[in-house]
Amino acid sequence: MDTNALIKIQDIVDRYAFKRKIPLDDWNLYLEHATDCVRELSIHHMNAFRTAKVNSVASGIFDMPKDLIDIISLSIPYNGELWTLTPKGSLDITTMQGYPSAEVDDGLLFYENFLDRELFIRRGGSIGGGPTFSSSYITFDGTDDYASIPINLNGTYTLVMKLNVEDYTNQQYVIDFRNNGGTGYITLDAADIGASSGTRYVDGVATSVVDTLGGHYIVITGMSVISDTMLIGKPYTGAQYYDGGVDYIKIYDYEWSTTEITAGNTADAAIAATDTETLLEPRTTDYGARGGNNLYYFSPNWKQRKIYINGIPTETVILQYVSSGLNLTGDSYVPIQAQSSVERYLNWMRAEIDGLGLTERRDRERLYDKEIEMLRRTHIPSASEFKDILLYLMTQVPIR
Amino acid sequence: MQKNHLRDYIKNHLPKVDKTNKYHPVLIEHAIEKAINGVFTEIALKNPHELDQYTKEYSIALVQDGTSLNYTATLTHPYIPIPDKRNGVRFIEAQGDYAEILFMPMTQKEFYLYPNTNASKVSDRIPYYLDRTKVYFYSPSSAVTTAGVVIHQLIPFTVYSDTDNVVIPDGMDGVVVKMALEHLGIIQPVDLADDNKDRQV
């Protein structure tokens, strides 16, 4: 017997038949009614949804699961998060064959451009002291301002950043990964950009000298980092706060070549000339880029029961969908709280099977409705769940 | 009561004159069988689950019908017809320890509609229907097809061996004897026939 929160449909019918002395002769008949009931409950009352891992194929088309009734989301697991794809009414199938590999995986793991305080916080960041967000910079006062953002790094990376230096004489921590026992930091001290490890490049040249105020394009390759939090503008302990601005920080999972460093510097100079962010990074580069615009779409074809995906390589995607509630092979499980509803439904159907009078049938229907009402109460979301739902809906950040 | 004892008991209650062997043991057994079958039918109408007490077990292997999902088990003996879906096979279980598997009786019509139902997706409930000599199963699990089934069947009195103990429904022993004697009573002993009666030539 099931003692957990799920029960097999057939076990509900067993219990029903046992309690009401129903002969085995009619057991399958009641099972059929029970499955009808469970399907109705799943669709309308129990918020039953399933998660399926689906391998997207090179053609970008895969079949819907047979029990799929409605799609909740389609997403890609990435760094412990689910990056949802944007639903679209239609896709141009002719562009779906093959994927531009450079756009698919450019190694960009992290990208923060400090465009907007609200956006930064929405991405999981927090701030202390009160740094200002203006002209796409975050500016620290060197006294108590800092920012932090969760991150998940363990390896050797390339860090790319644009700083607006306002003081290069005093020791300051620009970035510190050492919170919670991590390793890695970047400092600015005595006209020198310092890093815990790796090779330093300033404005496209292999040097660590920073002896002028204003904008500097910094690249550090081969830097070892282990961290779950990136502190920006302060050390994990001490008071050497950074005095200046940060335009953006990017982290790549591979070591940049000198060609890339030079090209990056040229691109950065172009950006500085136009003073706009839009040229900095193609918006579609990577679904892993924080705040990156997601141009990976999916589109369901209900008539052919297929889902088309555009823009991702062949890999596993997570499909969350409203299920009919019935497994098409093997056993179907039902939340235990629905047992009473199913039994009431069977009792109602039994009145019809046995040809009982209209009054009796209505009475039993009413009892079923009461059970449904009770079942619904268990699924009214709490305030915190509403918050989660809203946050979930904001996973996509279409602006930037 | 042991089968041969019951038969002899009936025989001893019959008139002694039996020159032409009208009360052959087989005849007596059939009379008893008819009486017991009548009692079973009465019970079936009033309290069908009581019949489960009078069954006999047989282990039978399953045979697949070609490559289909249908399997059959050929009954070792005929059964006593009972007016419900279970008929003379009152209960079927999987051979071995498969307590979670239940076999569900159906009519032939239900059996043919069954593959299109939601119920057919359930794995550990196996439907069957009973024909004259076979039990038909739909999509039994591999454990069942390998191990076979145990059938609890109501068998006719004539099928029992002489030394088998025949269980007669509670309190119905007298009724069975009386009914058997009534069936046999319509056969007159030959010596009591009125041979002196005028005959047409």
Indicate whether B73 and B138 sit together in one domain: yes
A355: pLDDT strictly greater than 50: yes
Indicate whether B184 and B117 sit together in one domain: no
Residue B197 falls inside a structural domain = no
Residue B127 falls inside a structural domain = yes
Chain-centroid distance, C-alpha A242: 31
CA dihedral B17, B22, B27, B28 (to 10 degrees): -10
**Chain A interface includes B104 (CB < 8 A):** yes
**Chain A interface includes B113 (CB < 8 A):** no
Q: What separation in angstroms does the CA of B79 have from each of B21, B156, B183?
A: 29, 6, 21
Residue B40 falls inside a structural domain = yes
Cβ within 8 Å, pair A25-B85: yes
**Cα–Cα distance for residue pair A125/A249, rounded to 1 Å:** 13
Task: Tell me: ipTM over 0.85.
Answer: no
**Cα–Cα distance for residue pair A93/A159, rounded to 1 Å:** 37
Flag the least confident range among A57-71, A252-266, B126-140.
A57-71
* C-alpha closest to that of B23 among B188, B161, B174: B188
Question: How sure is the predictor about A289, in pLDDT bands with cuts at 50, 70 and 90?
Answer: very low
Closest chain A residue by Cα to residue B106: A25
Task: Give how far B43 is from chain A: nearest CA, Å.
Answer: 15
Closest chain B residue by Cα to residue A29: B119
**Chain B interface includes A36 (CB < 8 A):** yes
pLDDT digits (tens, 9 = 90+) for B92-104: 999 987 777 889 9
Supply the DSSP symbol for A381: P
A273: pLDDT strictly greater than 90: no
pLDDT at A102: 34
pLDDT at B150: 95
**Which residues of chain A does B121 touch, with a Cβ-Cβ cutoff of 8 Å?**
35, 326-330, 332
Q: Which of A10, A36, A328 sits opposite B125 (nearest CB)?
A: A10
Task: Give how far B139 is from chain A: nearest CA, Å.
Answer: 12
Task: Give how far B102 is from chain A: nearest CA, Å.
Answer: 10
Indicate whether B18 and B46 sit together in one domain: yes
pLDDT digits (tens, 9 = 90+) for A157-171: 999 999 999 988 889
A91 CB-near residues (< 8 Å, 6+ apart):
A297, A298, A299, A308, A310
pLDDT at A279: 30
pLDDT at A336: 85
pLDDT at B35: 92
Residue B21 falls inside a structural domain = yes
Q: What is the mean pLDDT of chain A?
A: 79
**Chain B interface includes A326 (CB < 8 A):** yes
Indicate whether B28 and B104 sit together in one domain: no
pLDDT at B71: 94
Indicate whether B148 and B60 sit together in one domain: yes
A95: pLDDT strictly greater than 50: no
pLDDT at A312: 58
Residue B170 falls inside a structural domain = yes
A267: pLDDT strictly greater than 70: yes
Residue B198 falls inside a structural domain = no
Question: How sure is the predictor about A270, in pLDDT bands with cuts at 50, 70 and 90?
Answer: low
Indicate whether B135 and B66 sit together in one domain: yes
Task: Give how far A374 is from chain B: nearest CA, Å.
Answer: 26
Most confidently predicted of A223-237, A269-283, A296-310, B88-102: A223-237
**Which residues of chain A does B137 touch, with a Cβ-Cβ cutoff of 8 Å?**
none
pLDDT at A400: 40
User: Is the CA virtual torsion A306, A312, A315, A316 positive or negative?
Assistant: negative
Indicate whether B139 and B178 sit together in one domain: no
Q: Which of the pair, B140 or A58, is modelled with greater confidence?
A: B140
Indicate whether B181 and B114 sit together in one domain: no
pLDDT, mean of residues A216-220 = 92
**Chain A interface includes B110 (CB < 8 A):** yes
Question: How sure is the predictor about A281, in pLDDT bands with cuts at 50, 70 and 90?
Answer: very low
Residue B143 falls inside a structural domain = yes
End-to-end, the C-alpha distance of chain A in Å comes to 55
**Chain A interface includes B3 (CB < 8 A):** no
Q: Which of the pair, A16 or A287, is modelled with greater confidence?
A: A16
Closest chain B residue by Cα to residue A38: B118
Task: Give how far B106 is from chain A: nearest CA, Å.
Answer: 6
Indicate whether B49 and B60 sit together in one domain: no
**Chain A interface includes B117 (CB < 8 A):** yes
Cβ within 8 Å, pair B119-A332: no
Q: Which of B105, B114, B125 sits opposite A25 (nearest CB)?
A: B105
Task: Give percent of chain A above pLDDT 90.
Answer: 28
pLDDT at A240: 92
**Which residues of chain A does B124 touch, with a Cβ-Cβ cutoff of 8 Å?**
10, 331
pLDDT digits (tens, 9 = 90+) for A232-266: 999 999 899 999 999 888 888 888 888 888 887 77
Indicate whether B100 and B125 sit together in one domain: yes
pLDDT at B20: 60
B128: pLDDT strictly greater than 90: yes
Most confidently predicted of A249-253, A276-280, A327-331: A249-253
Indicate whether B44 and B66 sit together in one domain: no
Flag the least confident range among A3-12, A190-199, B80-89.
A3-12
Supply the DSSP symbol for A212: S
Range of the domain at B129: 56-153
**Chain B interface includes A338 (CB < 8 A):** no
**Chain A interface includes B123 (CB < 8 A):** yes
**Chain A interface includes B118 (CB < 8 A):** yes
Question: How sure is the predictor about A99, in pLDDT bands with cuts at 50, 70 and 90?
Answer: very low
Cβ within 8 Å, pair B104-A9: no
pLDDT at B76: 92
Cβ within 8 Å, pair B121-A330: yes
pLDDT at A389: 73
Q: What is the largest CA-CA distance in chain B?
A: 76
pLDDT, mean of residues B48-67 = 91
Closest chain B residue by Cα to residue A2: B100
A350 CB-near residues (< 8 Å, 6+ apart):
A20, A30, A364
Cβ within 8 Å, pair B106-A331: no
**Chain A interface includes B48 (CB < 8 A):** yes
Flag the least confident range among A328-332, B19-23, B59-63, B69-73.
B19-23
**Which residues of chain B does A328 touch, with a Cβ-Cβ cutoff of 8 Å?**
121
A288: pLDDT strictly greater than 50: no
**Cα–Cα distance for residue pair A219/A200, rounded to 1 Å:** 6
pLDDT digits (tens, 9 = 90+) for A370-393: 998 888 777 666 777 777 777 766
Residue B91 falls inside a structural domain = yes
pLDDT at A379: 63
pLDDT digits (tens, 9 = 90+) for A182-196: 899 999 988 899 999
pLDDT digits (tens, 9 = 90+) for A18-59: 998 888 888 889 999 998 998 888 777 776 677 888 776 666
* C-alpha closest to that of A125 among A141, A107, A112: A112
Indicate whether B5 and B63 sit together in one domain: no
Domain count, chain B: 2
Q: Which of the pair, A68 or A326, is modelled with greater confidence?
A: A68
**Cα–Cα distance for residue pair A246/A8, rounded to 1 Å:** 58
**Chain B interface includes A39 (CB < 8 A):** yes
